[in-house]
Amino acid sequence: MTTNETVTRSESQGPAPVKKPQRRGVFAGGQYIPYTLLLPAVVVLAGVLVYPIYKLIDLSFQNVNKFAYLAHPERAKYIGFDGYSKVLGDSEFWDVVLRSIYFTAELVILSMVLGMLFALLLNRVSAWVRVFFFTVMMFVWAIPALVNGQVFRWMFSSNSGIVDYVAYLLTGDETWKHYDWFADSTIGLYVVGAAVVIWGALPFLVLGLYAALTQVPKELMEAARLDGANSLQAFRHVTIPVIRPFLMISTALSFIWDFQVFAQIYALRNSSPESGYQTIGTYLYMHGVGASQYSNASVISIVMILMMLAVLVYYIRQMLKIGANER
């Protein structure tokens, strides 16, 4: 058989048929398996969240209070956007929103910075010291927020508070013996209130950031030092890019927790927070649920949700960019 004959036969037979790729089933290693496994969780979340949110929105357009809901439910009627106009037109509400934004920014920044510093320190100590601190932090994390608020209220009390006594021992100033940390709401909220919230948030952040730091390849750090980078430069250009996904997640979670903080402030002010101590979480309870104004509470809740979603949109976009860059 000559070469020409082989070519002629090959041309006459045409190109070899291309086999169609065999489609894999959903339950046989196919590409839809992740979506199939996530479907039950999505259904449960939809059932748990969709109906309550629908009722929340529906309630915000009514004039329901405790009396109308229990004694005369027929008096509850739809009032349109009057409830929104009442809440959004209240200057006190916007003062609370602004205070909540400042307070949340302080909490997120301080908790993330302190969490990173403690995580870096734990990365440099011996194993038994690390185990001891992990045990202590887990114990702190297990204490309920209401208990933390009560303990800090006793610690900062102007009548035999431990903080005042320690300040007196360090300075020798008699005025510290009965210093009232809560007389000025600015100091009471942004110092004492911030301390109790950050105290409860640090265990999660420290443990998470420490775990993230252990994932930084030592080879990259050694290469950075060989190239002449100091510790700060290596941390900025090597460590931060590696742990950035967890930093984004922990920052977003800290914002969610801190923006709706309630239990610590409520306990810190003995269940009666003054106007200067009210963040949006305590304002929602005091002027909505506590006052039995359910429609007003629904309006405040919806505004609160929308404000958190506005910030989380930025977080989600950043996470999508990080995921796209890692592909």
pLDDT of 20 reads 53
> What is the number of other CB atoms lying within 10 angstroms of the CB of residue 293?
20
Q: Is 2 within the bounds of a domain?
A: no
Q: Is 319 within the bounds of a domain?
A: yes
pLDDT at residue 112 is higher than 80 = yes
Span 204-222, pLDDT tens digits? 999 999 999 988 888 888 8
Nearest residue to 93 (alpha-carbon basis) of 308, 284, 318, 235 = 284
For residue 264, the domain's CATH number is 1.10.3720.10
Span 258-281, pLDDT tens digits? 998 999 999 999 888 888 999 999
pLDDT at residue 3 is higher than 80 = no
pLDDT of 38 reads 85
Mean pLDDT of the chain: 84
pLDDT at residue 4 is higher than 80 = no
pLDDT of 280 reads 92
Q: Is 49 within the bounds of a domain?
A: no
Q: Is 35 within the bounds of a domain?
A: no
**What's the whole-number mean pLDDT along residues 228-232?**
84
Span 164-190, pLDDT tens digits? 999 999 888 888 888 999 989 999 999
Q: Is 73 within the bounds of a domain?
A: no
Overall number of domains in the chain: 1
pLDDT of 21 reads 54
Q: List the structure tokens of 31.
A: 């590409």
pLDDT of 18 reads 54
Residues 252 and 312: beta-carbon distance below 8 Å: yes
**What's the whole-number mean pLDDT along residues 269-294?**
86
Q: List the structure tokens of 17.
A: 């048929």
Q: Is 140 within the bounds of a domain?
A: yes
Span 15-50, pLDDT tens digits? 555 555 555 544 445 577 878 888 888 888 888 888
Q: List the structure tokens of 105.
A: 């920014």
Nearest residue to 287 (alpha-carbon basis) of 305, 299, 302 = 299
pLDDT at residue 5 is higher than 60 = no
pLDDT of 233 reads 87
pLDDT of 114 reads 95
Amino acid at position 246, single letter: F
Contacts of 234 (CB under 8 A, 6+ apart): 221, 224, 225
Segments forming the whole domain that contains residue 185: 90-325
pLDDT, greater one: 126 or 113: 113
Share of the chain above pLDDT 70, in %: 85
Share of the chain above pLDDT 90, in %: 31
pLDDT of 232 reads 87
**What's the whole-number mean pLDDT along residues 86-92?**
90
pLDDT at residue 11 is higher than 60 = no
Q: Is 37 within the bounds of a domain?
A: no
Residues 308 and 259: beta-carbon distance below 8 Å: yes
pLDDT of 1 reads 47
CA gap 84, 298 in Å, rounded:
10
pLDDT, greater one: 73 or 261: 261
**What's the whole-number mean pLDDT along residues 185-201?**
93
Rg, the chain, Cα only: 29
Q: Is 29 within the bounds of a domain?
A: no
pLDDT of 210 reads 93
Interhelix angle for 194-213 vs 91-122, to 10°? Answer: 40
